[in-house]
Amino acid sequence: MPPKPVNVLDFEAIAREQMTPSAYDYYAGGAEDEVTLSENREAFRRIALRPRVLAGTATVATDTELLGLTLPYPIALAPTALNRLGHPDGELAAARAAGKAGALMCCSTVSSTSIEDIAAAATGPLWFQLYVYRDREVTRDLVARAEAAGCRAIVLTVDTPQLGRRERDMRGGFTLPAGISICNLERYGTADALRWSQTSSFTEYVHHLLDPGLTWEAVSWLRSITALPVLIKGVLTPEDAALAVDHGASGIVVSNHGGRQLDGVMATIDVLPSIAARVAGRVPMLMDGGVRRGTDVFKAVALGARAVLIGRAYLWGLAADGEAGVSRVLEMLAHEFKLTMALAGCPSISAITPAHVSR
Ligand code: FNR
Q: In this predicted model, what pLDDT tens digit does every residue of 277-297 receive, in sequence order?
A: 999 999 999 999 999 999 999
> Rounded CA gap, 335 and 343, in Å?
12
CA 210, 114, 327 angle in degrees (round to 5)? 110
257 is an active site residue: yes
**Sheet strands (E) in 99-236:** 105-107, 126-130, 154-157, 230-235
Nearest ligand 1 atom, CA 291: 29
Strand-strand pairing, 64-66 and 69-71 = antiparallel
Nearest ligand 1 atom, CA 155: 6
| Ligand 1 center from residue 338 Cα (angstroms) | 25
**Residue 179 burial (C-beta neighbours within 10 Å; 0-12, 13-18, 19+):** exposed
Gyration radius of the chain's alpha carbons: 19
Q: Would you give the end-to-end CA distance of the chain in angstroms?
A: 41
> Rounded CA gap, 285 and 242, in Å?
12
Q: Which of 260, 316, 330 to mutate to test the pocket of ligand 1 (most atoms within 8 A of CB)?
A: 260
| Ligand 1 center from residue 311 Cα (angstroms) | 5
pLDDT at position 202, please?
A: 67
Pocket of ligand 1 (CB under 6 A): 26-27, 40, 78-81, 108, 110, 129, 157, 233, 255, 257-258, 260, 288-291, 309-313
Which pTM value belongs to this model?
0.97
Q: What's phi and psi for 18, nearest 5 deg?
A: -90, -20
Q: Which domains does the chain have, with CATH numbers?
A: 8-358 (3.20.20.70)
The one-digit pLDDT tens for each residue of the chain (359 residues) are 457 999 999 999 999 999 999 999 999 999 999 999 999 999 999 999 999 999 999 999 999 999 999 999 999 999 999 999 999 999 999 999 999 999 999 999 999 999 999 999 999 999 999 999 999 999 999 999 999 999 999 999 999 998 999 999 999 888 888 899 899 988 886 555 555 554 556 667 777 788 999 999 999 999 999 999 999 999 999 999 999 999 999 999 999 999 999 999 999 999 999 999 999 999 999 999 999 999 999 999 999 999 999 999 999 999 999 999 999 999 999 999 999 999 999 999 999 999 999 99
Which position among 87, 207, 257, 335 bears the catalytic label? Answer: 257
| Ligand 1 center from residue 107 Cα (angstroms) | 11
Is 308 in contact with 76 (CB distance < 8 Å)? yes
Residue 81: closest CA among 42, 51, 108, 48: 108
pLDDT at position 173, please?
A: 86
Burial 95-121 (b: 16+ CB within 10 A, else e): bbbbbebbbbbbbbbbbbbbbebbbeb
Residues paired with 231 in a beta bridge: 155, 251
Residue 188, CA atoms < 13 Å, CB-side half-sphere: 20
